[in-house]
């Protein structure tokens, strides 16, 4: 009880000051927190908070085959969206997180809902760096139903 009395004021002060309090234990709760906060940061166009969740050598894979960005390149590309005060909104509807045996690496897949793109899927890997979960890789895809795959494959083959 004494520990709670000591830690609670510090936690409340950190929350009130806007400092991100990130669960850093080797459980999926820390990964869930980071992914939810990352999606929320995009929704409210908080560029710093969004990119603080990436590892320095992280990678973002977009929906187009040409979109493989390092964290810094992705930040440069995304900056105009954040600067105008409206980035993007992807709302997780389902997520599965798995942890490595060491508890320092996590991989996940999540279904997302987007007003712009409809149903999407995100997959990726997070790593605990200095005790904090960071996104090493995020891959955003638009799942194509098998019944439509032949049509889309033909269109992709015919694209310049």
CATH number assigned to the domain comprising residue 75: 3.10.450.50
Structural tokens at position 117: 């793109």
Per-residue model confidence (pLDDT) at position 114 = 95
How many residues would you count in the chain? Answer: 160
The C-alpha atoms of residue 105 and residue 133 are separated, in whole angstroms, by 9
Residue 17 lies in a domain: no
Residue 106 belongs to domain spanning: 25-158
Per-residue model confidence (pLDDT) at position 19 = 35
Per-residue model confidence (pLDDT) at position 25 = 53
| Number of domains comprising the chain | 1
Per-residue model confidence (pLDDT) at position 46 = 98
Percent of the chain with pLDDT over 70: 84
Per-residue model confidence (pLDDT) at position 27 = 75
- Predicted TM-score (pTM) of this structure: 0.81
User: What share of residues in the chain are helix, strand, coil (percent, to 5)?
Assistant: 40, 30, 30
Cα→Cα distances 47→51, 88, 116, Å: 6, 11, 20
């Amino acid at each position: 009880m004494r520990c709670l009395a000591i830690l609670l004021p510090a936690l409340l002060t950190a929350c009130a000051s806007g400092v991100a309090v990130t669960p850093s234990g080797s459980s999926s709760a820390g990964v869930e927190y980071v992914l939810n906060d990352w999606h929320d940061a995009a929704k409210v166009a908080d560029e710093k908070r969004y990119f603080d969740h990436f590892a320095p050598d992280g990678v973002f894979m977009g929906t187009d085959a040409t979109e493989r960005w390092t964290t810094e390149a992705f930040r440069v590309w995304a900056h105009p969206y954040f600067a105008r005060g409206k980035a993007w909104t992807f709302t997780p509807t389902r997520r599965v997180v798995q942890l490595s045996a060491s508890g320092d690496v996590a991989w996940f897949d999540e279904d997302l809902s987007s007003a712009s793109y409809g149903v999407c899927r995100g997959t990726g890997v997070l790593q605990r760096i200095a005790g904090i979960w960071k996104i090493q890789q995020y891959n955003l895809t638009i799942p194509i139903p098998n019944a439509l795959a032949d049509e889309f494959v033909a269109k992709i083959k015919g694209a310049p």
